[in-house]
């Protein structure tokens, strides 16, 4: 336990047994297609809304628990009508799974209230929001001082997301997930992209609402296409009105937003499996790394350099951003994790590899037995030799052998290995060739010798959206064993979008890096890391 380190703080009290007010839900009208848990969550949200966002949640399918007595006990909506019956007090037990999860949700809500107070006291240095995960995110509202790269359409904010984890012994860990969030500037909507950067449209995959309901995170949708002939004020037959009229009735938009929406383009988006109409000015494009690699690779390269951040710095910054956080309803603060008293058993989870066919195993050797977990997403593998003098039959055969080893990793059809193009001498020659003709959605399998500038070649390929896997062509003959080709193939597979395995049943929002040595088939231990 002396060597245990978590990106977390903990509450200064244990919630082994915690007294709450309990109510039973009595339904008068409800959606019969919804599950009991979904209905109870809906009731809990509506009760929060009419009770000034009190700290409360559901307990099972019929129960509501609250830290304080609830004054408004009736919900009267067109599709949901219910009332509450007082059921006295209940002492939550952190050792009982259902109650443990409910307690965790209550803590999460109080963290949100604590973040509001913390940001109010920060004099504009901090802000907060509810993340899509439902957890609270505290962020610096101005462009991060660590990010020197700038653009006219994007800001990079330093943020820390707080995720509570209630352990069976009542200890409450608050995970601190530090990262840089890339967000469109306030005046950048999808309509701006349509007007100013129309060539970007095909690279925009997701959009986020520029408005939201109180207590909820802005919705995110998959972007499909622009409806060229329709505007925000165009009547829609299936709706019986225009989207501007619809949003005016909803009451979530400002006068300026409604005015802009009237002349803005209509777009098609997708929420889950359902397509819907939207207005381009009411959503913002989401600039993830994949999108930036296609629309602005120069900026992305500069940004990537600034994102290098030592682990020690991350811990210090995340702790500084939440310093003084006080949970008003639970009446507690955050303190460093007490490693001496933290039960080791509370943190031990059985780690299993999960494979594509549903099989699970704790043996890393089963990676080859059960094949891979996720298929490659690149549609072609292009072999490329650096240096005309290296373009020999032997070297071509070595690259082909590495490609053939891919068959050990998946049962599905592999992307084809293209014919060998003419070799290139250096990164400049590769840049000139890709400028004339850039293959789409490809991974380059590149053969190198000692004098090749690997970094320059990799960066050039990256600027054109191409993944790369390098292989040495100047080893001694006895180096090229099956295990060597397996290692190269594993690199091609993973960099081409495939996943060698997944870890099943890990706690919370744990992120893992998993190293696999395909030669010795050694499995590296998973490590908790910080997202950025």
Q: Mean pLDDT in runs of 10 for the chain (532 residues)?
A: 64 94 95 89 94 94 95 93 95 93 96 96 91 88 87 90 92 90 91 95 94 82 93 93 94 93 95 92 91 88 81 84 95 89 58 70 71 83 94 95 89 89 93 90 92 87 90 91 90 86 58 48 33 30
Find the farthest-apart pair of alpha carbons in the chain and give their distance in angstroms, rounded: 84
Question: Phi and psi dihedrals of 263, rounded to 5?
Answer: -105, 5
Query: Nearest to residue 196, comparing CAs of 205, 210, 185, 183?
Result: 185
Query: Nearest to residue 496, comparing CAs of 472, 474, 515, 468?
Result: 468
CB 112 within 8 A of CB 161: no
pLDDT for the residue numbered 519: 41
pLDDT for the residue numbered 530: 31
Cα distances (Å, whole numbers) of residue 352 to 66, 113, 356 = 37, 37, 13
Report H helices in 151-264.
190-196, 243-250, 255-262
Residue 37, beta-bridge partner list = none
pLDDT for the residue numbered 354: 72
pLDDT for the residue numbered 347: 53
Q: 502-504 and 516-517: which strand pairing?
A: unpaired
Distance CA 353, CA 373 (A): 9
- Sign of the dihedral defined by the CA atoms of residues 402, 404, 408, 413, in that order: positive
For the whole prediction, is pTM greater than 0.85?
no
């Amino acid at each position: 336990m002396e060597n245990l380190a978590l990106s977390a703080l903990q509450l200064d009290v244990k919630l082994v047994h915690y007294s709450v007010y309990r109510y039973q839900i009595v339904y008068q009208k409800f959606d019969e297609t919804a599950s009991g848990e979904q209905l109870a969550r809906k009731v809990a949200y509506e009760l929060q809304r009419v009770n000034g966002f009190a700290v409360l949640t559901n307990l099972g399918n019929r129960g509501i628990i609250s830290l304080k007595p609830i004054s408004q006990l009736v919900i009267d909506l067109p599709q949901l009508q219910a009332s509450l019956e007082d059921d006295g007090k209940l002492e939550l037990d952190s050792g009982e799974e259902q109650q443990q999860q409910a307690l965790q949700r209550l803590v999460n809500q109080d963290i949100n209230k604590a973040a509001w107070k913390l940001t109010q006291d920060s004099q504009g240095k901090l802000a907060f929001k509810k993340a899509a995960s439902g957890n609270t995110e505290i962020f610096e509202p101005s462009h991060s001082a660590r990010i020197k790269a700038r653009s006219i359409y994007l800001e990079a904010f330093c943020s820390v997301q707080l995720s509570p984890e209630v352990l069976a012994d009542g200890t409450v860990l608050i995970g601190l997930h530090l990262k840089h969030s890339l967000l469109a500037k306030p005046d950048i909507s999808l309509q701006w992209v349509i007007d100013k950067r129309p060539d970007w449209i095909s690279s925009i995959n997701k959009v986020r609402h520029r408005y939201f309901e109180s207590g909820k995170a802005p919705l995110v949708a998959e972007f499909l296409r622009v409806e060229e002939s329709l505007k925000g004020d165009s009547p829609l037959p299936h709706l019986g009105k225009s989207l501007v009229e619809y949003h005016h009735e909803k009451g979530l938009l400002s006068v300026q937003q409604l005015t802009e929406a009237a002349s803005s383009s209509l777009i098609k988006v997708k929420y889950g499996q359902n397509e819907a109409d939207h207005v381009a000015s009411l959503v913002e494009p989401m600039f993830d790394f994949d999108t930036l690699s296609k629309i602005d690779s120069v900026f992305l390269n500069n940004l990537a350099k600034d994102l290098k951040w030592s682990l020690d710095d991350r811990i210090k910054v995340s702790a500084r951003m939440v310093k003084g956080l006080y949970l008003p309803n639970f009446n507690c603060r955050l303190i460093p994790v007490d490693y001496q008293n933290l039960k080791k058993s509370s943190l031990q989870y059985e780690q299993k590899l999960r494979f594509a066919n549903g099989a699970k195993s704790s043996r890393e050797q089963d990676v080859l037995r059960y094949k891979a977990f996720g298929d490659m997403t690149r549609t072609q593998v292009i072999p490329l030799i650096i240096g005309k003098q290296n373009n020999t039959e032997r070297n071509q055969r070595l690259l082909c052998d590495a490609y053939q080893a891919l068959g050990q990793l998946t049962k599905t059809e592999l992307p084809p290995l293209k014919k060998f193009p003419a070799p290139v001498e250096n990164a400049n020659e590769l840049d000139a060739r890709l400028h004339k003709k850039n293959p789409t959605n490809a991974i380059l399998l590149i053969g190198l010798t000692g004098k090749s500038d690997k970094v320059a070649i990799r960066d050039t390929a990256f600027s054109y959206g191409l993944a790369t896997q390098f292989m040495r062509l100047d080893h001694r003959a006895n180096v090229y064993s099956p295990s060597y080709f397996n290692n190269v193939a594993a690199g091609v597979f993973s960099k081409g979008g495939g996943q060698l395995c997944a870890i099943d049943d890990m706690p919370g929002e744990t992120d893992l890096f998993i190293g696999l040595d395909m030669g010795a088939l050694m499995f590296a231990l998973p490590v908790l890391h910080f997202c950025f």
